[in-house]
Amino acid sequence: MSISLGSASAATSDPLTLVNQLEYFILADDSLKIWSKLLDIRNKNSTIDFVCDNAGYELFTDLCLADFLVTYGFASRIRFHIKVLPWFVSDAMVHDVTWTVDTLKNAGFHSAHLPELGSRWQNHIDSDAWELIPSDFWTLPYEYWAMKEVDSKLYSKLCEAAMILFKGDLNYRKLMGEVNWLATESFHNALQGFHPSNIAALRTIKADVVSGLKPGLAEAAAARDPQWNFAGDYGLIQYDGAACDDVTEECACVDVKSIEKEVSFAYVTVKDRLPVIITQVVDHLARDKDKIIKEYGEDAREEVKTVIGRLSELKNELQTNKPLIELKSQKRDAYQWNTFLEDQRKTGHQEPRWFGTVWLYAECYMYRRMWQIFELTQSLAQFDYFRKLKRNSLMFSLDGCVTVCDQLVIELNRQKVPLSEVKEMFGRILKLSLWANKFDMSISLGVSSGPTSDPLDLAPHNQDYLLVDQSELIWDKLTGTPNTNHLLDFVLDNAGFELFADLCLADFLCTFGLVSKIRFHAKTMPWFVSDAMLGDVEWTVNTLGEVGSYSQSVPELASRWQGYIKSGVWELLASDFWTLPYVFSAMEKKDPNLYDLLRESSLVLFKGDLNYRKLTGETNWPPTHSFHTALKGFHPTNVAILRTLKADTVCGLGPGQAEMAEEKDTDWNLTGKYGLIQFDPVF
């Protein structure tokens, strides 16, 4: 009646004939999937939750369905979730349910069957087989993906159910996050991580939010009726069986990230790139065996052979799509990895395999399995098998480092620089740090790369490829509260030239008083070939301090950086969380100490593609989807990200930007050619 503006309406013929008559108008029908799940839970004392929509005839049919489910053993208990106040004209409240049951009990004058049904339903209520549960959340303005944070008790209650059945258009809009998805976007993706249990939605379409349609269906409906998605003439029965608990909810991923799709970048990464990386480590061990033995002792001789054999076994597991197995490591992170895998097994429809799980998980899992092979040895447990590549990357870029240092030292030594000039320098050095992210050896498959001309020219030369530039917002945040001791958390990405550029940016921020302290967050293990570990930061600073014969400005900068570290202005930190398979919206629960640490900061600056994927939940958002929403509640403080695009996850673009980029280059979001500087304030 919110659509009919209060005019009562009802079925005027045999309602059961509507099923056949309206079959043509059901655009998505997952009723067989729902039936399959019901068979799985039959006679298992299961609970099914109904999130009700309208009173009147719709409520009557909902109660009929609930009676059927209880009678035939598909549920031992039904919980009806109901509004707490008059809502959208016809939404059901508790008294609407009790009035409906009472009225039917007294409708003998109309039919002998109505009182029988009314009595059955009263018995269900009296015996607690049916429970009526009102909650404030259903009348709050939040999308349902926010429920876990806004109303954790309700979310936990829904987690108890074997299935949750959502009715109606408003519930559907809130399930979808009120996002105008492409009609073909998967229903699973559109839930945006809302997975307390298996979810079904029954809805006649009365608003333009819709997902999960097959290609061409929306266009065909629009050709027949331009108002097809407003009048309630078309319907959906949709189901998402990827029920997720505390772990798997946070790794929710959409079809394009599914490794099984052979056209996807995810598939290419696992099929082609990851085996090459394993092979390169094997080649490094074989080629440099004598050097490794000299550094790590004679015991390493046999262990190098053992490691090579185990790496070859790992590569074979991957290429033959074996099931993923638990870690044997005794390290503190192994429990979380194994718990994650167990939860994947519980909630998936099959055993997780290399080509049958979430891309983010499979890729991270490969690097963790590699590290386990080394940490289970006696002599090579601390060996960084990517160290040589990372160090070569910096030395390959040394000419570029000199060029930057020669200019930067002059700027840092200037006195009483006008704020306008500081701002201009800030933009240049911030973008230097951004474009340095292009040189990622997990993408180049271990081939060292770096700038071949003046790196400070990267910013103007790449301006047309900077799809989002919110550097002004970052500047405003850092300068908006003068005389404040700003703390910055810097979540690093790659070693080599990118790390050098990050340290230049950090020096600039400290020198001009934009921050008073910086905490650098590095990885705890060799990761994605070129990711920076604590040892890489220390080696970089020390090495640059020893190139006096090559340049005077480089050692001068390195000396400044050593001073920052010794004085505590710069602090080097490493956390297991950065090398776990979780997306960052899981941090508050999975690593509350790290989350609380970030809360102390004025700004967290993330670098790189993997951090971006984890920030935005490894979800294939529409490119125009807001960056704020894509963070899925991850807001310990103000968040900024500098990233060149090397995976298909992207959000926060303007209308048409993605399409224009794709017209120029079909691989626009995979090669690092395009960049983003994005900022989201905490309120």
Over the stretch 614-646, which tens digit does the pLDDT of each residue have?
A: 999 988 788 988 899 899 889 999 999 999 999
pLDDT band at 243 (very low <50, low <70, confident <90, very high): very low
Please report the pLDDT score of residue 355 as a whole number: 87
Of 51, 53, 56, 52, whose CA–CA distance to 7 is shortest? Answer: 56
Mean pLDDT within 355-384: 95
Mean pLDDT across the stretch 571-600? Answer: 96
For residue 421, name the pLDDT band (cuts at 50, 70, 90). very high
Q: Last residue of a domain, which of 208, 243, 278? A: 243
Average pLDDT of the segment spanning 96-109 = 91
CB 465 within 8 A of CB 435: no
pLDDT of amino acid 682: 86
Average pLDDT over residues 455-476: 89
| 192-206, 349-363, 481-495, 603-617 — most confident range | 603-617
Q: Which of 182, 211, 243 is the last residue of a domain?
A: 243
Task: Give the residue-averaged pLDDT of 338-367.
Answer: 86
Quick one: 82 and 166 in the same domain? Answer: yes
Q: 235 pairs with which residues across the strands?
A: 26, 204
Residue 244: its pLDDT value, please? Answer: 34
pLDDT over 70 (residue 4): no
List the domain range (segments joined by +) for residue 354: 256-375
pLDDT band at residue 245 under the 50/70/90 scheme: very low
For the chain, the domain total comes to: 3
pLDDT tens sequence across 128-182: 999 999 999 999 999 999 998 889 889 989 988 999 999 999 999 999 998 888 9
Q: What is the mean pLDDT of residues 525-552?
A: 94
Residue 163 lies in a domain: yes
CATH code, 272: 1.20.930.60
Rg (C-alpha) for the chain, rounded Å, is: 29
CATH of the domain at 170: 3.40.50.10880
Alpha carbon distance 439, 86 (integer Å): 58
Indicate if 185 and 283 belong to the same structural domain: no
For residue 175 the two structure tokens come to: 């399930």
**DSSP category for residue 163:** E
Rounded mean pLDDT, 106-135? 91
In this prediction, what percent of the chain has a pLDDT beyond 90?
71
* Residues 327-337, mean pLDDT to the nearest whole number: 94
The answer to whether residue 420 scores a pLDDT higher than 70 is yes
Considering the chain, what percentage of its residues have pLDDT values greater than 70? Answer: 91
Asked whether residue 9 is domain-assigned, the answer is no
CA distance 351 to 259: 14
The pLDDT value recorded for residue 349 is: 53
Boundary of a domain, candidates 375, 401, 421: 375
Residue bearing tokens 């309208």: 54
CA torsion, ordered 655, 661, 667, 673, to nearest 10 deg: -110
* Whether residue 297 sits in one domain with residue 178: no
At 592, list the tokens. 């509350």
Question: Do 190 and 68 sit in the same domain of this protein?
Answer: yes
Provide the pLDDT for residue 246.
Answer: 32
Specify the pLDDT at position 241: 83
**Per the domain annotation, does 4 fall within a domain?**
no
Distances (CA, A) of 7 to 4, 90, 227, 229, 359: 5, 10, 20, 20, 50
- Do 450 and 396 lie in one domain? The reply is yes
The H or E element that residue 310 is part of is helix 300-319
Query: 262 exposed, middle or buried (CB, 10 Å; 0-12, 13-18, 19+)?
Result: exposed
pLDDT of 514: 96
Mean pLDDT calculated for residue range 520-547: 97
Is the same domain home to 354 and 396? no
As a whole number of angstroms, the distance between CA 584 and CA 491 comes to 12
The residues, ordered by sequence, that sit 6+ positions from 51 with a Cβ below 8 Å of its Cβ are 81, 138, 164, 165, 166, 167, 171
- Is 8 domain-assigned? no
- On whether the CB atoms of residues 596 and 648 are closer than 8 A, the answer is no
Residue 440 located in a structural domain:
yes
- pLDDT tens profile 255-268: 334 455 455 788 88
The least confident of 13-17, 502-506, 609-613 is: 13-17
365 and 402 housed in the same domain: no
Same domain for 40 and 93?
yes
Does residue 2 lie within any of the structural domains? Answer: no
Q: Which of 85-99, 274-288, 345-359, 524-538 has the lowest mean pLDDT?
A: 345-359
Report pLDDT for 490.
99
pLDDT tens figures, 18-48:
666 777 789 999 999 999 899 988 988 899 9
Question: Mean of the per-residue pLDDT values for the chain?
Answer: 89
CB of 191 closer than 8 Å to CB of 74: no
Residue 397 and residue 367 in one domain = no
